[in-house]
């Protein structure tokens, strides 16, 4: 576990500490003085980056965000903003924009008054306030809604106002705490693009908290996967999906077939694993403890091939089709493989469909690098 934290720290340090806008240095947080909610967090966020903190509820991601915003204090360690420690800076002096889960628009003010609020508390002149408010409203395509109350707007419109309000005073850093959680799926996807485009256009730094992995994959430059108060992996979306560092990340991000077994031999680029069902397979060693240690093999469903040529694959096994689910562009096939009956294969539509019938035996295979040998998950 400590190894992971070091790894996260190392990869962010490679971005160069001079470029870091935000830096968490050995930050710990405990609410009750006994158990740590955040355990020794080291994280650097580069200027202009879109970083997502992703994790299940209770993983410490929101606590990290609240410490950055100043609503929670770190029990141990320091948080730097622009190189300056901000542990003792009260939240209203941090100049960090924030979008809340339920938008937190002030219901007794109009949209324009909501947007003018951060400007007025900064004692800005009336003419300038109006100009900035109008510009912010135009940015989120709500130019004519300034006179309305938040209660008169739809969820998506309220969301845009909340984003505009967090940006209207030109903060360098904007925090977003599951801002799209209350929207329906279609609107959520649309807003993901809008927020992403605003981020690209303004060049601001965004720290985004979500438990929705597709949202994280869509929007982020880098994703920090949280679990149990620790960053399990910090990587760009494609790395996270294709090269998970451990079994938690493999299972949390995307769909994952798992096969458990014991390591029999370890080389530099390959290891031999004897599955619980007895088969011998080869895998890429990623996180194993040497010979004889238990391991979980991770295989993405779309990387499993049906009836492969021997040359294409490093491993082939025989599976039995259990169930077919037609999904248009592909067919989700559940198979019994190596003693497990929850092995999923995504079969592209229009190829080899005919032989897929429940009960049929089919040869399947995969490449060595697609089968990653990881640690055993904590609970299985």
Partner 1 sequence: MLVGPLFLFILFTFFIPIGDMLFRSVENSIVTDILPRSTKLLADWDSTTNELPSEAVFAAMVADIKEGRKARTITRVGQRLNYEAPGMSSLFRSSARKTKRMKEGPYKPALIKAHKRWGKVETWKVIKQFIPKYTAGYFLAAVDAKQELNGDIVRLGDEKRIYIDLFWRTLRLSLIITALTLILGFPIAYLMAILPTKSSNLLLIFVLLPFWTSLLVRTTAWIALLQQQGVINELLVFVGLVGTDNRPQMIHNEFGAIVAMTHILLPFMVLPLFSVMKTIPKSYVRAAVSLGAHPWAAFWKVYFPGTIPGIGAGAILVFILAIGYYITPELVGGTTGTFISNRIAHHISSSLNWGLAAALGVILLGIVVALYLLYDKIVGIDNMKLG
Residues making contact with partner 1 (CB under 8 A): 69-71, 90-98, 100-102, 104-108, 117-118, 121-122, 165-166, 169, 175
Q: Which of 287, 376, 298, 299 is nearest to 345 (CA)?
A: 299
As beta bridge partners, residue 373 has: 285, 297
Please report how close the Cβ of residue 108 comes to partner 1 at its closest, in angstroms.
4
C-alpha span between 301 and 257 (Å, rounded): 7
Beta carbon of residue 126, minimum distance to partner 1 (angstroms, whole number): 17
Give min distance, CB of 373 to partner 1, in A.
44
CB 220 within 8 A of CB 237: yes
Question: Quick one: 60 or 118, whose CB is closer to partner 1?
Answer: 118
Closer residue to partner 1, CB minimum distance, 204 or 331: 204
**What minimum distance in Å lies between the beta carbon of 143 and partner 1?**
21
* Whole-number CA gyration radius for the chain: 24
Look up residue 104 and give its two tokens. Answer: 């937190």
Least separation in angstroms between residue 196's CB and partner 1 is: 22
Between 69 and 249, name the residue whose CB sits nearer to partner 1: 69
Taking the least distance from each CB to partner 1, the nearer of 71 and 193 is 71
Q: Which is nearer to partner 1, 98 or 286 (CB)?
A: 98
CA dihedral 102, 104, 109, 115 (to 10 degrees): -110
How would you label 297-330 residue by residue, b for 16+ Cβ within 10 Å and e otherwise? Answer: bbbbbeebbbebeeeebbbbbebebeeeeeeeeb
CB of 79 within 8 A of CB of 87? yes
Smallest distance, partner 1 to C-beta of residue 98, A: 4
Minimum distance between the CB of residue 118 and partner 1, rounded to whole angstroms? 4
- In the complex, least distance from residue 114 CB atom to partner 1, rounded to whole angstroms: 9
Q: For residues 35 and 379, which CB has a smaller minimum distance to partner 1 in the complex? A: 35
State the DSSP code for 187.
Answer: H
Rounded least distance, CB 53 to partner 1, Å: 17
Q: For partner 1, give the closer residue by CB, 96 or 142.
A: 96
> Smaller CB distance to partner 1: residue 31 or 193?
31
Sign of the torsion formed by the C-alpha atoms of 169, 174, 180 and 182: negative
Residue closer to partner 1 (CB basis): 104 or 324: 104
Q: At what angle do helices 111-120 and 126-139 cross, to 10 degrees?
A: 130
Burial of 215 (0-12, 13-18, 19+ CB in 10 A): buried
Give me the numbers of helices (H) and strands (E) for the chain, helices first please: 9, 20
Nearer to partner 1, 69 or 335 (CB): 69
Rounded Cα distance between 137 and 165, Å, is 9
Question: 53 with 224: CB under 8 angstroms?
Answer: yes
Q: Could you tell me the strand order of the sheet in which 205-210 lies?
A: 96-99, 173-177, 205-210, 50-54, 222-227, 230-235
Q: Which of 129, 99, 115 is nearest to 207 (CA)?
A: 99
| 255 secondary structure, DSSP code | -
Q: What minimum distance in Å lies between the beta carbon of 380 and partner 1?
A: 36
Can you tell me which residue has the tokens 């910090």?
A: 234
């Amino acid at each position: 576990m400590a190894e992971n934290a070091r790894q996260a720290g190392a990869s962010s340090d490679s971005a160069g500490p001079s470029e870091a806008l935000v830096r968490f240095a050995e930050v710990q947080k405990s609410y009750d003085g006994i158990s740590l909610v955040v355990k020794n967090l080291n994280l650097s966020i580069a200027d202009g980056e879109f970083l997502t903190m992703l994790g299940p509820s209770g993983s410490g991601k929101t606590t990290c965000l609240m410490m950055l915003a100043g609503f929670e204090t770190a029990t141990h360690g320091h948080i730097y903003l622009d190189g300056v420690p901000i542990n003792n800076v009260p939240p209203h002096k941090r100049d960090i924009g924030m979008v809340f889960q339920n938008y937190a628009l002030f219901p007794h003010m109009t949209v324009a008054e909501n947007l003018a609020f951060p400007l007025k508390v900064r004692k800005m002149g009336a003419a300038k306030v109006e100009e900035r408010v109008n510009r912010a409203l135009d940015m989120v395509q709500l130019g004519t809604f300034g006179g309305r109350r938040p209660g008169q707007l739809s969820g998506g419109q309220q969301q845009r106002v909340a984003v505009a309000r967090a940006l209207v005073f030109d903060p360098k850093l904007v925090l977003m705490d599951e801002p799209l959680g209350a929207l329906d799926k279609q609107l959520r996807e649309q807003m993901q693009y809008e927020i992403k485009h605003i981020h690209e256009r303004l060049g601001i730094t965004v720290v985004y908290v979500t438990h929705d992995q597709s949202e994280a994959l869509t929007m982020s430059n880098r994703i920090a996967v949280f679990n149990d108060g620790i960053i399990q992996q910090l990587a760009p979306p494609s790395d996270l999906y294709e090269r998970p560092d451990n079994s938690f990340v493999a299972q949390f991000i995307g769909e994952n077939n798992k096969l458990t077994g014991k390591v029999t031999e370890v080389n530099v680029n390959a290891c031999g694993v004897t599955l619980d069902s007895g088969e011998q397979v080869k895998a890429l060693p990623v996180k194993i403890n040497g010979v004889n240690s238990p391991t979980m093999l991770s295989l993405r469903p779309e990387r499993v091939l049906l009836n492969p040529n021997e040359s294409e694959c490093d491993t082939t096994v025989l599976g039995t089709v259990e169930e077919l689910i037609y999904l248009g562009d592909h067919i989700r096939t559940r198979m019994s493989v190596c003693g497990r009956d929850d092995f999923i294969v995504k079969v592209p539509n229009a190829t080899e469909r005919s032989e897929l019938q429940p009960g049929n035996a089919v040869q399947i295979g995969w490449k060595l690098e697609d089968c990653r040998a990881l640690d055993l998950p904590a609970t299985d």
